[in-house]
Structure 1
Amino acid sequence: MRDLIIQLPDRTTAKPERKPMSLPPGRTATFGYRRRGERLTVTGDGAHINLVVGRVTSESGYWTLSNFSAVDPYVVENLNDRSEYVKVRPGRRAAPILFELARVVVPGNHGPQGFHVLAPPPRMVDPVDMLPPSTASFASLNEQRKYFAVLVALCEPRLRGGSPVGVPTVAEIVERLRPLPEFCDVTRDAVNYHISYLARGKLRPYLDQDGESGRVRWKREALAAAALRYEIVRESHLSLLPGPPSHEHHQRAGSPPV
């Protein structure tokens, strides 16, 4: 597949429509509204759109998004990794997007609206040019140690598509890990120790030290952000935790505390 595929949600079910739009490299699709207050529309030639709000262009190996709004950013969510998203600032033209499966979200009169984009597989480096597995990685962490399970628990809400702002509290991490045999008697002090060990030692070079002063939650927020940014913790690491958390716990951990 070389073409970029764009799918609008169905009017009633919000699921992708049956007839997607196909864009070969170099072609552009325009999106906007026929009339104010109507649902978002995407066309290949801009016909029947009176209020154009943006454009998508298919390129070789990536695609671009143009934001015609003067005040609102557009958000591109990576549907393959819910912790990743890109904001395209107002007035930005042809912002390059590398996500293979994405959802573009734009403001609407009745709440946010959007569409899905399916890009061709990316071009990869020839296997003979790949570095050997022994090459140094961002951080040398032992995935079998307790501190790594604590780090995964910190990242879990974002990996499962929760809020990019909130992080679990120490008490929530204790509750989340306690079903594991090695954490059956875990305490808050023990979790705090592992968090401090990571922040002051293993991951210190990757943390933004400017945010430390005056913020009790700084270590947890900084560790989760760094671990996800550098892919030290990935979705596959969720298998180190007990079964998926309850809906109540997930909502609580994925929202910023008041």
Structure 2
Amino acid sequence: MFSVIIVPDGCRGPEEQYRLEPGHTLRFGRSAPAGNGLTLSHPGVACAAGEITATGAFWILTNFSSDQTYLVENPESAGEHIRVAPGRADAPVPFEFARVHLCAGESRPGCGFDVLAPRHDYLTPCGSLIGGPVGDGAGVDGPRADGARGAEDWSFDPFPRPYPLDHTCHYFLVLTALCEASLRTGEAPAVPVPDVAELTERLRPVWPDVTPAAVAWNIDYLRVKLRLRTPDDPETVREALVRFALRFDLVQEGHLAVLEGQLV
């Protein structure tokens, strides 16, 4: 199962993406290996610019350049980024969504590509607290010197969730909006699933710059992340996502609150 997806600028579909399984590497540059690398025609990119190596839950970036620093930003956050210095080997990138900026000039646009890591895992709270119920004075950093514990001092299941979702990402907003009507009525099989236009309008109060294209992209990403095998028909995909999310409690009634608050 692949753990990293590299999406070149101008990519027109999955057939133009690069999908890496854990341990596999993709080199990129102005003259990348034919058939086994990502070629970037920008004149500011080195012939051999770098490589990406996939792991199970993140990826690492090596910068072959001797004079260019690469910027890797998380487009889902407010300015979160890392810099990979010239010659830096095996820099770990923790973002599920990342934009890699290789170069930028005053007279021409910059160059880069997107990297997706859909296999990010999250631990599952056991549902009980170490040291007593909520409100017993525990701290978030574990036991205090006086032996007391805080309300957020959870114990965790050592196994990751089978279908990990980051509740701060746009894709979770989209999935919640898809499931909203079914959760509010309790009639999942009978409630029509909203289309992209309806989802866009529903999400605009909490995602002001949302577009139909962004909603459609997140729906496609959810299909990849949750490993659903469905026909390419958009309505079928949306219906399958709702059935799957409700079946495995990926979205519950309490999650509807994210539709009322600003996603940061």
Q: Same fold (TM over 0.5)?
A: no
TM bucket (normalised to shorter chain) is: 0.3 to 0.5
| Normalised TM-score (structure 1) | 0.43
| Normalised TM-score (structure 2) | 0.42
